[in-house]
Amino acid sequence: MTGGPLIVQSDKTLLLEVDHEGAEAARRDIAPFAELERAPEHIHTYRVTPLGLWNARAAGHDAEQVIDALLRHSRYAVPQGLLVDIAETMARYGRLTIEKDPAHGLVLRTTDRPVLEEVLRHRRIEPLLGERVDPDTILVHPSERGHLKQQLLKIGWPAEDLAGYVNGEAHPITLREDGWVMRPYQRQAVEGFWHGGSGVVVLPCGAGKTIVGAGAMAAAGATTLILVTNTVAARQWKDELLRRTSLTEKEIGEYSGTRKEIRPVTIATYQVLSVRRRGVYPHLELLDARDWGLVVYDEVHLLPAPIFRMTADLQARRRLGLTATLVREDGREGDVFSLIGPKRFDAPWKDIEAQGWIAPADCVEVRVTLGQAERMAYAVAEADERYRLASCTPAKERVVQDLVARHTGEPTLVIGQYLDQLDTLAERLDAPLITGETTVAERQRLFEAFRSGEVGLLVVSKVANFSIDLPEASVAIQVSGTFGSRQEEAQRLGRVLRPKGDGRTAHFYTIVSRDTIDADYAAHRQRFLAEQGYAYRIVDADDLSQDPDGRR
C-alpha cells in the first residue's frame, strides 16, 4: 500500500484509513493532540482543536512533534496554513505561567509582555490578580489559582501551571496484588498521571478505572478525598479499596447524605457536596477537614457546577479525573482541562476490547411504530411532552418482553428514564425495580442478588447509569433516555462490557419510536459509541419477533 494512512485537510480534520498497514502507528502518534470525532468501519475522522493542542503541550509534547507526526503519516502534502496555525496555537501555551516566587508567593509571569497587558484588560481576569511585582510579573491570590486558569483558557491564553503541589498528609497505601496484577494499560495510566501530577485518565466502562485510582493513591502515599456519583458507588469504591489495597475499614470514611465520616481516605458524593442552603454550600468545609494529598474525581465528565467551584480551590492538591468519555453536553470540557488537568491517558474502547479486557458488544436499535391514536396525540402535543409520549408507547413494552424471553438465562438490565413506564415494565416482567426512591440498602441487596445469579433480571432507572459494578450483566435493553445524552449512552453500554467468563458477546438494545423526536435523540446519543467504532444494526420490531437473530 503506497502513501501514508492519514489525509490531513485544511479544515483541521484528519482522515485515518483504518485498514492501512501504518494506521496503528499513525493513530498512536496523533492521539495526544487530535480528538476522535467519528470511527465507522473504514475511515476514522479526527479533529485538531486549540484545546487538543494545548492538552498536548501540557502533557509535554511540542509543535515540532505534532507537525512531524502529520508530515510522516500524511498521504498527501500537508496544508502549509494548517502547520503554521498549529505552531502558533501551541506557542500560546506557556507564554503565561503560574509560579511560586520565593519572595512573593504565587505569581503570574509572562515571557511576552504584550500578552500580559492584553489579559489584564479583561474584566473577569483583572479582579483575580494582585499588585504588579515587575513589568512581567503580577501577584495571584492562592485561592484564585483555579479561577485564573479557567478564565485565561477562555480567552485563548492558557497558563502553564508550574506552581507545583503540596504533598499533603502522608498516609501509607500499598497495592496488595495477591492473586491479581495490574493490567499493562492500567499501569501506563497511573504512570502517565503521576508523571504529570494532575490530569484525566479516559478508559472504557468495565476497564478498571477504580484500579487506576487505587494505583494513584499508592503512588501518592497520602490522605485521599474521592468524589463519586452516589452512595452505592461510594460503597463499591470502598469494597474495591479493601480488596485491592492495604487500607482497612477504619481508614476509609463515607461522607454522604446518611454518614459524615472523615478519615485518611474519605469517599464523598457529589450530591452532598452540592447541597446548597441559604446561598452557601455547607459541606465544602470537607475540603479543609484534612490536608489531602490527592483528590480523585470518579466520572469526572459529570462534575456539577459547585464541584467545579470547589476544584478551583484545590489547585495545590494533586487531582485525578476518571471517566469513560470527556464528552460534556454543556461544552465545559475546557473547565475539566483547566481545573483537573490535561488528558494523561486515553485508551480507545475497541483497543481494550481487542486485548480481551472488555466484552465485544452487539448494538441493535429496534424501531417501533406508534399506533394511529398515539400518532395523533403526538402530533398535537406540546414540544416538551412529545418525547415522553414517544418514549412511553406501549409498543415498546411488547418488544421488551420479546427480548427478555429471547435472552432467558442471561443476566439482563431493562433501563429507562420515566418511572411510570418502568413501574409497568417491572410488573409485566415480574422483575425487581430500582429507582431513586429505592433505599441504598435495598439497591445493594438487589445488585448483590444479580451478581450472584439469584436475580437474573432488573428494571432500573437512571440511578444505575454510573459506577454500578455488575460484572455478569450481558444484556441491556434501553427503553428511554435523558434526551440526546451521549454520556448516558456510553455509560449504559458500559453496564454490559465487563468480560464474561465464557467469552460471550454482550447485547445492547435501544428501542426507538420511528418518525418522532425519540429517533432524533437516539441518533445523537449513539454518536459517541459510533466514534468508538461500535456499529448499530437497525431492525423493525415486527422482524425481530419473526427472526431469532433479529437480522433482515
**Same-domain pairing of 84 and 119:** no
Residue 169 in domain: no
Percent of the chain with pLDDT over 90: 50
Euclidean distance between CA atoms 150 and 153, whole angstroms: 5
Residue 328 in domain: yes
Kindly report the average pLDDT of the chain as a whole number.
Answer: 87
CA-closest candidate to residue 325, choices 408, 425, 201, 479: 201
**Same-domain pairing of 201 and 248:** yes
**Same-domain pairing of 116 and 40:** no
Across the chain, which has 552 residues, the per-10-residue mean pLDDT values are: 85 94 90 81 88 90 95 95 96 94 94 94 91 94 90 93 91 89 93 90 87 96 93 90 95 91 93 80 77 92 78 87 75 81 84 83 90 92 88 93 93 91 94 89 88 90 67 84 66 75 82 89 75 79 63 38
**Same-domain pairing of 43 and 190:** no
**Per-residue pLDDT, 309:** 76
Burial (CB count <10 Å: 0-12, 13-18, 19+), residue 453: exposed
**Same-domain pairing of 212 and 303:** yes
Order of strands across the sheet with 6-8? 6-8, 13-17, 43-48, 34-38
Residues 6 or more apart whose CB falls under 8 angstroms from that of 208 comprise: 183, 186, 357
Where residue 440 sits, what CATH number does that domain have?
3.40.50.300
Residue 1 in domain: no
> Which residue stretches of 407-512 are H helix?
419-429, 440-452, 486-494
Euclidean distance between CA atoms 464 and 413, whole angstroms: 10
Residue 336 in domain: yes
Residue 178 in domain: no
Euclidean distance between CA atoms 173 and 133, whole angstroms: 42
CA distances from 410 to 366, 433, 462, 505 (A): 19, 18, 21, 11
- Three cell numbers at 429? 416482567
Report the number of distinct structural domains present in the chain: 4
What 3-state class would DSSP assign to 79? coil
**Same-domain pairing of 127 and 208:** no
Euclidean distance between CA atoms 233 and 231, whole angstroms: 5
Q: Please answer whether residues 213 and 322 qualify as being in contact, where contact means their C-beta atoms are separated by less than 8 angstroms.
A: yes
Residue 175 in domain: no
**Same-domain pairing of 220 and 337:** yes
Last-in-domain residue among 46, 76, 92: 92
> Which residue stretches of 94-244 are H helix?
113-120, 145-154, 184-196, 209-220, 231-244
pTM of the full predicted structure?
A: 0.81
**Same-domain pairing of 57 and 133:** no
**Same-domain pairing of 139 and 276:** no
Q: Give phi and psi for 77, each to the nearest 5.
A: -60, 135
Residue 172 in domain: no
Q: Please answer whether residues 40 and 350 qualify as being in contact, where contact means their C-beta atoms are separated by less than 8 angstroms.
A: no
Q: Please answer whether residues 413 and 491 qualify as being in contact, where contact means their C-beta atoms are separated by less than 8 angstroms.
A: no
Note the pLDDT tens digit of each residue in 415-454: 998 899 999 999 999 999 998 888 888 988 998 898 888 9
CA-closest candidate to residue 291, choices 269, 328, 316: 316
What 3-state class would DSSP assign to 128? helix
Euclidean distance between CA atoms 88 and 86, whole angstroms: 6
Residue numbers of the domain that contains 67:
6-92
**Per-residue pLDDT, 117:** 94
**Same-domain pairing of 368 and 501:** yes
Residue 167 in domain: no
What 3-state class would DSSP assign to 141? coil
**Same-domain pairing of 316 and 426:** no
